[in-house]
Chains A and B, each alone.
Chain A
């Protein structure tokens, strides 16, 4: 079986089947680039992901493996047919997978999923972050994400006034 060696920013190497790796848009491109540039078709590609550390890379690969038989979602799927992933329910496995993570890990996972172009994982992690917004007050949201209010003057007051358009009735 064709394998590919994926190396994290902190130097841990993961040996993964190429079939699995190709479910990541980024790794797929990298493998194809390697194939084109390599004379030896038997050579095992090695891909260094300099922005993702081992712990996170392991999670991404774990998720990919669990979902290796899902249909591949094109990155711009939403643009194409207007049918979003709203109907693609989250599996119990996904929920168990995400449950123990703190927000910091989830954020890193989002970045990794984005970088490696793994749309399914990006969507479930974004959804998880969204759940930290649901039902919260403005201050709670700011605290949760360590965001500062950067409105100037009465801009914030103005924005709150505009909001009455949608709570008027």
Chain B
């Protein structure tokens, strides 16, 4: 087999000598149209002396086509990207481009479509920083709540121990007031829809307690500088909520989502929701989806908020009484929460059809301010 590849060293003559021999061989065997498109006389010497050619494409004295340099840079690790940007202008230019990043994501099996909506019409010279952060932290397509429904204890226990409430904080008094139901008790089963790759069938349940999840956006790769590149965008929060149907009780469940400053002392924006149940209204036991958004446009207010914002806090609270309520009564898990989700989403940059929301935003959009005329508010 290996003999098939046979090197015919046509004498140890000089380069030109060899050429002549070959040319003779060729003419004697073949008709002229068998000559390859490039004629032998166009003997391009690819090895440039003295490093000619375009700086950045000429590596170690050899001129490479642009797509080859891109191919090389597509393999560079995330940590080395900042250095590569400083090497020369061409590299910086390539690393700022959409195509190279597309290649990088594809080489890692990441779906480019999930990123697409974030990068159209945005500041293209700095887009690389967003894409870089997405590559390191997945910021553009992930649930910032790492434990959205309670880790299923039986599932994880075989491999490693994971606290079912991992990531959620609560005071000691609340610790046994929350449980994780592997399958929601006395209500509909959870929908099968996957949430960022997870198909959670479990939920958190309480009859009397609160818990909270604190997302550190900076740690998760979403720094203030990057959020400004993302504009306009929204932070979208959602969850599924249900109640048990086989008992009579009265009470309420509450949730509270806050954007907090770095010292966690100041609330920048917040949303509060509440649902009540009483003895006369029997709950249905169906899972209800609730969704909220914090919008950030290209206005001064949004930019100031983003500069201060570091945490997203998701707070759950439930209190209920049964007819014969005793203080230390067994857990009945009346209120159930699952699929807790915090994501970021790109918004269309140009508002062509002005809905109510876009009119309000365009009014305070000092940088663009095109849509004032269509304002009907």
Question: Residues of A with Cβ closer than 8 Å to B?
Answer: 1, 7, 9-17, 20, 30, 34, 37-39, 43-51, 54, 58, 61-62, 65, 78-79, 82-87, 103-104, 107-108, 110-111, 114, 122-123, 126-127, 129-130, 133-138, 141-142, 144-151, 155-156, 159-160, 162-169
Closest 6 CB pairs of A and B: A11-B18, A84-B107, A130-B75, A163-B82, A165-B129, A107-B62
The distance from the CB of B215 to the nearest CB of chain A, in whole angstroms, is 14
Contact A111 B62 (CB under 8 A): yes
Contact B106 A150 (CB under 8 A): no
Contact B89 A151 (CB under 8 A): yes
Contact A46 B225 (CB under 8 A): no
Contact A137 B83 (CB under 8 A): yes
- Across the two chains, which residue of chain B brings its CB closest to A7? B22
Contact B107 A78 (CB under 8 A): yes
| B residues near A136, Cβ cutoff 8 Å | 80, 83
Given A86-B108, A165-B225, does the pair A129, B59 have CB atoms closer than 8 Å?
Answer: yes
- Cβ of B373 < 8 Å from any Cβ of A? no
The distance from the CB of A167 to the nearest CB of chain B, in whole angstroms, is 6
Contact B86 A83 (CB under 8 A): no
The distance from the CB of B101 to the nearest CB of chain A, in whole angstroms, is 12
The distance from the CB of A145 to the nearest CB of chain B, in whole angstroms, is 4
Contact A165 B126 (CB under 8 A): yes
- Across the two chains, which residue of chain A brings its CB closest to B54? A150
Q: Determine the distance from Cα of A92 to Cα of B281 in the docked complex, in whole angstroms.
A: 70
| A residues near B219, Cβ cutoff 8 Å | 169
Contact B64 A14 (CB under 8 A): no
| A residues near B29, Cβ cutoff 8 Å | 43-44, 46
A147: contacting residue among B43, B46, B88, B226, CB under 8 A: B88
A166: contacting residue among B33, B55, B65, B132, CB under 8 A: B132
- Cβ of B223 < 8 Å from any Cβ of A? yes
The distance from the CB of B269 to the nearest CB of chain A, in whole angstroms, is 22
Given A7-B22, A20-B5, A50-B38, does the pair A159, B55 have CB atoms closer than 8 Å?
Answer: no
Interface magnitude class on chain B: 35 or more
Contact A84 B34 (CB under 8 A): no
- Across the two chains, which residue of chain B brings its CB closest to A44? B29
Contact B80 A159 (CB under 8 A): no
Stretch at the interface among B6-14, B167-175, B319-327: B6-14
- Across the two chains, which residue of chain A brings its CB closest to B63? A111
The distance from the CB of B97 to the nearest CB of chain A, in whole angstroms, is 15
Q: 24 A–B contact pairs at CB < 8 A?
A: A10-B15, A11-B17, A11-B21, A12-B7, A13-B10, A13-B25, A43-B29, A43-B30, A48-B40, A51-B44, A86-B109, A110-B64, A129-B72, A130-B72, A130-B73, A136-B80, A138-B83, A146-B59, A150-B88, A162-B129, A165-B223, A166-B129, A166-B132, A169-B218
- Across the two chains, which residue of chain B brings its CB closest to A130? B75
| B residues near A50, Cβ cutoff 8 Å | 36, 38-40, 42-44
B72: contacting residue among A43, A46, A126, A160, CB under 8 A: A126
| A residues near B223, Cβ cutoff 8 Å | 165, 168-169
B60: contacting residue among A14, A145, A148, CB under 8 A: A145
Interface-central residue, B68, B76, B132, by most chain A CB under 10 Å: B68
Given A166-B133, A169-B221, does the pair A148, B88 have CB atoms closer than 8 Å?
Answer: yes
Contact B46 A127 (CB under 8 A): no
Contact B68 A147 (CB under 8 A): no
Q: Determine the distance from Cα of A44 to Cα of B28 in the docked complex, in whole angstroms.
A: 12
- Cβ of B276 < 8 Å from any Cβ of A? no
- Cβ of B61 < 8 Å from any Cβ of A? yes
Q: Determine the distance from Cα of A12 to Cα of B17 in the docked complex, in whole angstroms.
A: 11
